[in-house]
Amino acid sequence: MKLSTLPTAVAVATLVLAAVAATPTRAQMKEQTVTVGGAPMYPSKNIIQNAMNSKDHTTLVAAVKAANLVETLQGPGPFTVFAPTNAAFARLPAGTVDSLLKPQMKEKLTAVLTYHVVPGRLSVKDLWEASNKGGGKAKFKTVEGEELTVGFKGQALTIRDAKGNASRVTIQNVFQSNGVIHVIDSVLMPS
C-alpha cells in the first residue's frame, strides 16, 4: 500500500468499524424496545449506553460526564432514573446549565443529577401501587438523600421535587439492563 493511500484506508476502516458498532445485533433486534430521542433503547444495554443514543438527552449525558457519574450509572444498579430532556434543561433560568457544568460546580451538579435517581427498578406499576397505598402520593428517597413525591392524575404520572415543582413523565418504563428510565419534562431540584 502506498503511503499516500494510508490515510484514506484508515478513514474507511474507521467508518466501517463505526457502522458495525452502531448496527444492532440479532439479539437486540428481537428485544422489545422503546424509542427515545429517535433511537431504540435496548433492555440489554445499561442506562448510559442507551442514554448516549438519545438525541433528546445530550445535555443530561454531558452533565453525567461532567459529574463523573458514567461509571456509576453503568454499574449493576438497579436504578430508577427520571431523565430530563434537553428541552427540560433549556427551561431552567438562563446560564444555569453552563454554570452547573463548570468544574467548580461539580458537587452541586452531582447533587442535582443524583436527585433524579432512586435505588431499585421501579416501573410505573410500582410507582402507581405505592401512590395508591399512600392515598394518592408516595415519597421515594433519592441517591442524593432527599425525597421525591410521586402522584397520579388519571393516567398521568407526576414527580414533585423538594421545592414543590412538578415534572410530568412523558415516556415511561424504558427498561435497561441495570434499571429503568422514565423520561420527564422538567429538571427536578433538591432543596
Q: What is the largest CA-CA distance in the chain?
A: 75
Name the pTM for this structure: 0.82
Quick one: average pLDDT of 13-20? 47
Whether 189 is covered by a domain: the verdict is no
Q: Which residues, in sequence order, are bridge partners of residue 79?
A: 119, 179
Q: What is the pLDDT of residues 22-60, one digit of tens each?
A: 555 544 446 788 889 889 999 999 999 999 999 999 999
* Contact status, residue 128 vs residue 136, Cβ threshold 8 Å: no
Residue 19 confidence (pLDDT) above 60: no
Q: Which pLDDT score is estimated for 154? A: 78
d(CA 90, CA 186): 9
Whether 150 is covered by a domain: the verdict is yes
Number of independent structural domains in the chain: 1
Whether 71 is covered by a domain: the verdict is yes
What is the side-by-side strand order in the sheet with 147-153? 117-119, 79-84, 179-184, 166-176, 156-160, 147-153, 137-141
Quote the Cα angle for 119-92-115, to 5°: 15
Q: Which pLDDT score is estimated for 140? A: 97
Residue 1 confidence (pLDDT) above 60: no
Q: Which domain range does residue 119 map to? A: 33-184
Report the helix count and the strand count for the chain, using DSSP H and E. Answer: 9, 9
Whether 11 is covered by a domain: the verdict is no
Whether 16 is covered by a domain: the verdict is no
Whether 139 is covered by a domain: the verdict is yes
Quick one: average pLDDT of 1-27? 48
DSSP secondary-structure letter at 115?
T
CATH classification of the domain holding 66: 2.30.180.10
> CA nearest 176: which of 126, 123, 115?
123
- 151-156 contact pairs (CB < 8 A, 24+): 152/128
* Contact status, residue 190 vs residue 149, Cβ threshold 8 Å: no
* Contact status, residue 179 vs residue 41, Cβ threshold 8 Å: no
Whether 72 is covered by a domain: the verdict is yes
d(CA 143, CA 82): 12
Whether 47 is covered by a domain: the verdict is yes
d(CA 126, CA 10): 50
